[in-house]
Amino acid sequence: MFVLKDDAKKFEKGALELLKSYNLPDVVEEITVSFEKAEADEVTLSFDGKNAVIKGTIPANFYRMLCTLATHLSKSGEPLEVKESFSFSLFGNMIDCSRNSVLTVEAVKKYIRYLASFGMNMMMLYTEDTYEVENYPYFGAYRGRYTKEELKEIDDYADMFGIEVIPCIQTLAHLKTALRWPVFDSISDTDDILLVGNEDTYKFVEAEIKAISSCLRSKRVHVGMDEAQRLGLGSYLHKNGYRPQQEIILEHLTRVQKICESMGLETIIWSDMFFRVLSPTGGYYQIPEGVDTFPFDFSKKCHLTYWDYYHNDYEHYKRFLSLHLDADKDCYFAGGGWTWNGLCPSFDKAFITSKPGVKAAKAVGVPNVFCTMWQDNGAETSQSAGIPSVLYFAELGYADSDVDMDVFSDKLLFLTGLPFESYKLMGEMDNVPGRRDDRPEVTTTKYALYQDPMIGLYDAHIRGTHLTEHYTKLAKAFENLKYKNKLTQYYEELAKALTIKAELGINLTDAYKAGDKERLEKLAGEDIPLCIEHLEKARELREEIWLSESKPFGFEIIDIRFNGVIGRLCYANRRINDYIEGETDRLLELEEERIYANPYCKDEPLYVNQWDKIASACSFVGV
C-alpha cells in the first residue's frame, strides 16, 4: 500500500512493522510517502490522495504522521493536511513493571508500537527489583523479573523506531519487595530503604546499575531516590546516631553518581527528597511563595525529574518547573496517566492534570517530558486500559492548541479497536454521585467491591449515594457498546456484580435490624448467588487479560482479592441462612454500628487505594 521514497526509506523497517500491526483496508493504488527535514519544531503531513510528504526532525515525527495518514485512510482517501509542532528532546512513557505486573516482551513490543504511532521517542521501564542482577539471586525472585536477553530484545525492537529505552530503577528507597529477604538485612536501613554509607550497599547498587545498563543502548539511567521519608531512622540511626536527611541523601547521591559516571552514564533522579527541604511542612508541593531558587548545585550529569500528577493549575506547574530548570536546564517533567486508581483508570484526573502540565513544560522550555503509568497496590487496572491517557498526553505534546477529541478517538479506534467512548465507560466506574469535578480521583469501586458484606467498613460512606443505580446504568451502557473486547466485558461483569455488592452490606444490616427475615432470605438466596456468578466471570476475564499482557507472577494477589470477596459472600450466605433457620439467634457483625471510616470526609467519595485497609479492620500482617 505504501511505497517509501528518498529519505523515508531509512524508516522502512520500522514502518513495515507498524503497518503489519495496522488494520488497513486493501487498496488498489499505491501511495508514495517521502520525508523531508523540517524547519525548527515543525511537524507536517501533506497528502494529495496519491502522494504523502511528511516533514519533521526525528524518526518519532515520521512514525506519528505515518499513523495519522493510516488512520485517515482507514476512513477516507481524501486529501489531508496536518500541521503540528514538537519541541522536546525526549518525549515518552514510563511503564510500571514493579507493582506485580511485569509485562511480557511481546506486550512491551506492542506498547513500543503504540509509542511510535503516537510520536514518542522514549520509554522507561520502571523496575524496582524485576530484572536480573548477577550474584543476587533473591533480587526479584518469584516476581517475573526480566532476563538480560529479554531486555536486549526489547531494546533492539525499540531502536527500530528510534525509541530510547531508559532504565528506571531504585537505588535508595521503594525496595520493600527486595529487602524482605534476610540476605539483604545487612544493607537495609528500614524495610524499604538501603543503608547509606555501608560499602556492601554500594557493591549492590553498582551491580544493579551494571546489570540493567549493560542490556540497553541508553547512556542514561534513572536511579530513583524518591519518597525516602524514613531515611536514616532505622539501622542507620542505631549505627551512626541522628543526622539530617539532607546530608545523608547528598552523600548517597554522590556515591551513586560516581558509580554511574564510571560507567559513562548520565544520572536521573526524582526530585522530591531535595525539594522537601524548601518546605516548612516537608511537602513536595508546598514550597512557600517567594522561593524562586534551588539550594543544590546539580552538575550536568545529574538530572532532576519533577513528578506531578495532581494539580489542575497551569501557574503551579510553571512555577515548579521553572524552579527545576533553575537547578538543571536538562530536567524532566513526569505527568501521570492515572492507571493506579484502584480497579479502573481515571481519565478525568489524567486529562485535567496532563493538560496544564504539558502546556507549562512547553512554555518554560523543559526539554524532557514523559507520562507515568504507575500500578500502585497490585496492578488492579490493566496497562491496556490506560492507553487513552498516553495518547492524550502525546496529543498535548504535538498540539498547538487543544486536543481534537474526534481525531483522538479515531486514533484509539484505529490502533486498539476501541473508540474513546468504550474506554471512557471504564473510567466512569468511579464517577459516582457526589464526586467533585476538580477531585475525580476517588476509589469507590475498589472499596465497594472489597469491603466485607457482613462488616461494612465503608457502608457509612456508601449509604445514600445510590451506587446500585450508578452501576446498573453502567452495566447497561457496557452491554450496549458498539465496540467491545475482553476489557469492556470485564468491566461489564464488574459493574453487574456491583449492582448487588455495592449496597449489599447496607441491605443486610437494614433487613436484620428490621427483623425482616423474608428480605434476608431473598438477599441470601437470590442476590448473593447472582453477585458471585458475575464476580467469578469478572475474575476469569481479569485472568485472561493479565496473562495476555503480563507474566503470571503477581496475578496471585488479584486472585486472592477476588476469591476473598467470593469466599466472604459465601460466608455471609451461610450466616444469614443459619439465622433464618434458627441455628444462631444473632448476627453480631450486623449489630456493629456503621461509623465513618474517614470522619473528616463524610460528604464526598473517598480515595482509599490500599486493599488491606478495605478488606478488614483486623491485622493482615505483624504480630
pLDDT, tens digit (0-9, with 9 covering 90-100), for 298-312:
766 799 999 999 999
Residue 454: predicted pLDDT: 98
Core vs surface per residue 90-106: b (16+ CB within 10 A) or e: bbbbbbbbbbbbbbbbe
Would residue 122 count as lying in a domain? yes
Residues 442, 394, single domain; the answer is: no
Residue 27: predicted pLDDT: 62
Q: Which residues contact 218 (CB under 8 A, 6 or more apart)?
A: 164, 165, 166, 167
Would residue 379 count as lying in a domain? yes
Residue 47's CATH number: 3.30.160.230
Considering Cα of 293, then 296, then 123, then 367, what sign does the dihedral take?
Answer: positive
Residues 532, 609, single domain; the answer is: yes
Residues 507, 601, single domain; the answer is: yes
Would residue 622 count as lying in a domain? no
Whole-number Å distance between alpha carbons of 259 and 276: 25
Residue 300: predicted pLDDT: 67
Would residue 286 count as lying in a domain? yes
pTM, two decimal places: 0.97
Would residue 421 count as lying in a domain? no
Residues 104, 79, single domain; the answer is: no
Containing structural domain, residue 530: 427-615
Would residue 422 count as lying in a domain? no
Residue 256's CATH number: 3.20.20.80
Q: Kind and range of the H or E element at 160?
A: none
Whole-number Å distance between alpha carbons of 316 and 262: 37
Q: Last residue of a domain, which of 355, 390, 414?
A: 414
Considering Cα of 276, then 282, then 285, then 290, what sign does the dihedral take?
Answer: negative
Which three three-digit cell numbers place residue 455? Answer: 462488616
Strands (E), 468-589: none
Max intra-chain CA distance, the chain: 85
Q: Which residues contact 528 (CB under 8 A, 6 or more apart)?
A: 453, 500, 504, 569, 572, 573
Residues 461, 583, single domain; the answer is: yes
Whole-number Å distance between alpha carbons of 140 and 143: 5
Q: Last residue of a domain, which of 85, 112, 130?
A: 85
Residue 333 near residue 366, CB atoms below 8 Å: yes
Q: How far is CA 353 from the centre of its chain?
A: 14
Residues 8, 52, single domain; the answer is: yes
Range list of H helices, 241-346: 245-262, 272-275, 314-327
Closest Cα to residue 98, out of 72, 131, 70, 65?
131
Residue 28: predicted pLDDT: 52
Whole-number Å distance between alpha carbons of 96 and 208: 18
Whole-number Å distance between alpha carbons of 410 and 416: 10
Whole-number Å distance between alpha carbons of 361 and 321: 7
Residues 203, 61, single domain; the answer is: no
- Tally of domains in the chain: 3
Scan for cell 531494546, then name that residue.
155
Q: Strand, helix or coil at 32?
A: strand
Whole-number Å distance between alpha carbons of 373 and 334: 10
Residue 209 near residue 156, CB atoms below 8 Å: no
Residue 574 near residue 551, CB atoms below 8 Å: no
Residues 486, 362, single domain; the answer is: no
Residues 101, 250, single domain; the answer is: yes
Q: Which residues contact 455 (CB under 8 A, 6 or more apart)?
A: 505, 589, 592, 616, 617
Residues 398, 456, single domain; the answer is: no
Closest Cα to residue 480, out of 545, 425, 531?
425
Whole-number Å distance between alpha carbons of 159 and 170: 24
Q: What is the pLDDT of residues 99-148, one digit of tens each?
A: 999 999 999 999 999 999 999 999 999 999 999 999 999 999 999 999 99
Would residue 453 count as lying in a domain? yes
The bridge status of strand 266-270 relative to strand 368-373 is unpaired
Would residue 189 count as lying in a domain? yes
Q: Last residue of a domain, which of 414, 440, 470?
A: 414
Could you tell me the end-to-end alpha-carbon distance of the chain, in angstroms, rounded to an integer?
66
Residue 248 near residue 193, CB atoms below 8 Å: no
Q: Give the residues of the chain that fall short of pLDDT 70.
A: 27-28, 295, 297, 299-300, 623
Residue 607's CATH number: 1.20.120.670
Q: Which amino acid is at 7?
A: D
Whole-number Å distance between alpha carbons of 374 and 430: 18
Q: Strand, helix or coil at 361?
A: helix
Residues 530, 599, single domain; the answer is: yes
Residues 484, 506, single domain; the answer is: yes
Which three three-digit cell numbers place residue 103? Answer: 509485562
Strands (E), 232-390: 266-270, 302-307, 332-336, 368-373
Residue 416 near residue 578, CB atoms below 8 Å: no
